[in-house]
Structure 1
């Protein structure tokens, strides 16, 4: 049995100014996107990207993550609460972000960027998708440091006690998500995108990969106490992942069928 280290969520404190680990993980995620983006530009000069476009798309993406992530949490997880307390929607320091909302926010931001650049939206998404998973992994490390989003009880040898919750050994589901949604998804999408693919195929694989990994990990993650399990014994995270998987399959099917049509 392991015990969660109970990290101090504040990484650096200077007088009244406190810099939290979770905020640093967001910063790390954006830095990773820039570093990997520059590498991808060098590896694929025919993609038509430059450093300024990478910096610009990061700005769009940050807005999409923050606004979409917060609104997604409000709409998907605690809509009735925020309907009664609308001013608290802006209390972002209290926590409450949704990956699926952030994903929709980024998708919309990339659509705006694509319109500005005069490029196909899916071509933009194909370039960005391989840059995202390591940033997602950094976010899960932030969850682990904060001791939040813990797992369900388990009797496995690596079960971890989260003293801020109870004394029951639980799945360290944040680390499962780091391994699957972060490292494994990065390897999958990065290697797949190393060779020329039909427009949309890389984005489709990202959706399938993330949706599948998230769906599986949710079986080990404790459901939100204010929601519990929903229809068919599935969590909200699982129900939100299903459309991602279906959409990803549809996009990949469309991409390869369109390529085959051009070849024929």
Structure 2
């Protein structure tokens, strides 16, 4: 059963992550070059798209194996953080998704981004979303028995951390900052996720 869940989640994350990037971040290009949608080896994945894909995968898995949606989602929530940690460290090693130019002493020069030091925003996300969020969700999951609350903590925590780190992360070159030249696409997408997570925490739950 566990390997079935792994398969469903992996497919949902990859398909959703790719389609999310295509739709949210570069729709004009990919709709004019649809064959490029399948060129996943060139890069381009979206966490928020992957989240939608995983939610769809959980729905299908829960229906097939007669499980509660939140039973599965709450089980997965603490396990997502280590994946985020590994992914952000991979981004740092691959010199992608770097931060904005900075003068802080721990700034890192990414040769692909030019000669100026930049915030290692990948490591900021790794520490926040991968380490701190893991412990927060794990500790909460050990004490909470309410359906959906663990998922709510993860979604709200991730969104708040992502929103903060986006101020240090270089926005996508073809998008830039969107709202008032101050808010990035990642921040915009994090807002509804945060609201949904908050709703899961405050909604009445049947005993």
TM-score of the two chains, using structure 1 as the length reference: 0.76
Partner of 1:108: 56
Partner of 2:84: 136
Residue among 186, 191, 203 paired with 1:242: 191
Aligned pairs for 1:23-102 within 5 A: 53-102=1-50
Moved more, 178-187 or 188-197: 188-197
Partner Cα separation in structure 1 for residue 89 and residue 76 of structure 2: 21
Moved beyond 3 Å, runs of 4+: none
Aligned pairs for 1:175-186 within 5 A: 175-186=123-134
Shift in Å at residue 159 of structure 1?
0.9
Partner of 1:258: 205
Partner Cα separation in structure 1 for residue 202 and residue 145 of structure 2: 12
Shift in Å at residue 164 of structure 1?
1.7
Partner Cα separation in structure 1 for residue 111 and residue 179 of structure 2: 31
Residues 17 and 53, structure 2, Cα contact 8 Å, conserved in 1: yes
Q: Does 1:154 align with 2:102?
A: yes
Q: Does 1:167 align with 2:119?
A: no
Moved more, 105-114 or 161-170: 161-170
Partner Cα separation in structure 2 for residue 193 and residue 113 of structure 1: 21
Partner of 1:203: 151
Post-superposition Cα deviations, 1:42-77, rounded to whole Å, max 9, x if no partner, equal xxxxxxxxxxx2111000001011100100000000
RMSD: 0.9
Shift in Å at residue 258 of structure 1?
2.1
Shift in Å at residue 197 of structure 1?
2.2
For residue 164 of structure 1, give the secondary structure of its aligned residue in structure 2. Answer: helix
Partner Cα separation in structure 1 for residue 145 and residue 75 of structure 2: 11
Partner Cα separation in structure 1 for residue 174 and residue 198 of structure 2: 32
How many residue pairs are counted as aligned between the two chains? 206
Shift in Å at residue 153 of structure 1?
0.9
Partner Cα separation in structure 2 for residue 164 and residue 126 of structure 1: 39
Partner Cα separation in structure 2 for residue 169 and residue 142 of structure 1: 19
Unmatched 5+ stretches in structure 1: 1-52
Partner Cα separation in structure 1 for residue 36 and residue 94 of structure 2: 22
Partner Cα separation in structure 1 for residue 8 and residue 109 of structure 2: 39
